């Protein structure tokens, strides 16, 4: 196997939703790669399939969602069909995940120290005494003040930002190769958001951990990620370097996302203006339109957009776009 092998390769992923009247593709033809230590963003509105893509990598899809095709490779090894016991050994140890809502993602009846300590007991065979001591160290690493005392606190006794630090400590406890962060800052105050993002960046780059950052916030993602995949209605519609996506968005949907970001100084230059929005909403999984799934909301649609779904078109610098009328 080559030395520059990708850490994670997702190829032609298909996830189906089982409903009363049939099965619907919730995610289709999603492919992306993450190199060791790389940070990749997955951006899109709520309901476009970002989180379930992440859960499928973790092997945590649950009924009514199920993997229906495609390959997920971790350092070359296919993991999508691993037996449960082998998948559990990877989960938490090599791939870890941080969730959106740190209040409900932690067990309310266990001290946060104990919830971190579980990782050492599970994956490193530590006894509880050692594990508890290492949990205090882990809290120190995520810059929780008074870690000895906080380790004995229950989640409800901590602030949202503190709880998310605890989640990060849990996720990074076993120094995983890949950290999946699913909207890690959405539930937090703006000032706390940047602290949490900085902390993740700092700890992951120190340990060489790759990050798959999932967010609806294009600004946040381009801030920490080298590469960004934009998802819409279960498909990747554009993949670009972060810098380029702001300056040269190719897909009409990405252009809409970029245009809808508020910018400092905009009012001074252009006078009072309404923020741009993309009209309409993401269609539900059971109601994806034929052809390009964005066409009902697109200003550039032509006849072909309504009938034939566009394929991903390679552009310069490894960028990809799924549109007949990009640019």
Binding stretches for another protein (CB under 8 A): 58, 60, 84-85, 88-93, 96-97, 99, 101, 104-110, 118-119, 122-123, 154, 156, 167, 170
Residue 212: what are its φ and ψ, rounded to 5°? -105, 110
Q: How far is the CB of 203 from another protein (least distance, A)?
A: 18
Closest CA to 15 of 77, 82, 70, 90: 70
CA distance 97 to 74: 15
- Whichever of 91 and 134 has its CB closer to another protein, that residue is 91
Q: The sheet that has 77-78: what strands, in order across it?
A: 22-34, 8-19, 65-74, 77-78
Report which secondary-structure segment, H or E, holds 149: helix 147-151
Min CB(57)–another protein separation in Å: 11
Q: Which is nearer to another protein, 97 or 278 (CB)?
A: 97
Owner of token pair 């519609």: 237
Min dist CB 141 to another protein, Å, is 18
d(C-alpha 266, C-alpha 275), whole Å: 10
Q: Which is nearer to another protein, 186 or 313 (CB)?
A: 186
Instruction: Tell the smallest beta-carbon distance from residue 134 to another protein (Å).
Output: 15
Task: In angstroms, give the least distance from the CB of 124 to another protein.
Answer: 11
In the complex, what is the shortest distance from the CB of residue 8 to another protein, in angstroms, rounded to a whole number? 16
Q: Which is nearer to another protein, 119 or 319 (CB)?
A: 119
| Closer residue to another protein, CB minimum distance, 99 or 294 | 99
Report DSSP state, residue 279.
Answer: -
- If the CB atoms of residues 64 and 314 are measured against another protein, the closer one turns out to be 64
Residue 190: count of CB within 10 angstroms of its CB: 7
Which of 134, 297 has the CB closer to another protein? Answer: 134
Look-up of token digits 């950290």: 179
8 Å CB contact between 143 and 196? no
Nearer to another protein, 119 or 230 (CB): 119
Query: Shortest gap between Cβ of 49 and another protein (angstroms)?
Result: 18
Alpha-carbon gap, residue 103 to 189, rounded angstroms: 14
Least separation, in Å, of the C-beta of 73 and another protein? 19
- Please report which helix (H) or strand (E) contains residue 31, including its range: strand 22-34
Terminal-residue alpha carbon distance, the chain: 38
Residue 36 near residue 241, CB atoms below 8 Å: no
Task: Scan for tokens 């910018």, then name that residue.
Answer: 263
Residue recorded with tokens 């971790």: 74
15, 207, 287 from 277: Cα distances, Å = 29, 39, 22
């Amino acid at each position: 196997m080559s030395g520059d092998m990708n850490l994670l390769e997702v190829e032609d992923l298909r996830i189906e939703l089982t409903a009363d009247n049939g099965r619907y593709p919730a995610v289709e033809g999603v492919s992306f790669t993450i190199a060791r230590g790389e940070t990749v963003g997955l951006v899109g509105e709520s309901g476009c399939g970002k989180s379930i893509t992440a859960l499928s990598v973790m092997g945590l899809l649950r009924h009514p969602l199920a993997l229906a095709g495609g390959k997920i490779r971790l350092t070359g090894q296919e993991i999508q069909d691993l037996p449960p016991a082998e998948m559990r050994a990877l989960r938490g140890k090599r791939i870890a995940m941080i969730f959106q809502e740190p209040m409900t993602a932690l067990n309310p009846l266990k001290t946060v120290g104990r919830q971190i300590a579980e990782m050492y007991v599970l994956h490193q065979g530590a006894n509880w005494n050692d594990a508890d001591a290492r949990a205090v160290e882990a809290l120190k690493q995520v810059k929780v003040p008074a870690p000895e005392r906080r380790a004995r606190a229950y989640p409800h006794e901590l602030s949202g930002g503190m709880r998310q630090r605890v989640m990060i400590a849990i996720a990074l406890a076993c120094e995983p190769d890949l950290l999946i962060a699913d909207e890690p800052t959405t539930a937090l105050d703006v000032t706390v958001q940047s602290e949490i993002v900085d902390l993740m960046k700092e700890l992951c780059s120190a340990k060489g951990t790759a990050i798959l950052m999932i967010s609806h916030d294009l600004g946040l993602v381009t801030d920490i990620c080298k590469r960004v995949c934009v998802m819409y209605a279960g498909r990747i519609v554009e993949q670009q370097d972060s810098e380029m996506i702001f300056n040269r968005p190719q897909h009409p949907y990405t252009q809409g996302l970029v245009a809808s970001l508020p910018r400092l100084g905009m009012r001074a230059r252009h006078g009072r203006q309404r923020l741009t929005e993309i009209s309409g909403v993401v269609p539900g999984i059971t109601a994806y339109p034929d052809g390009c799934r964005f066409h009902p909301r697109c200003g550039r649609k032509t006849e072909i957009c309504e009938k034939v779904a566009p394929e991903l078109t390679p552009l310069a610098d490894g960028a990809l776009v799924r549109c007949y009328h990009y640019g």
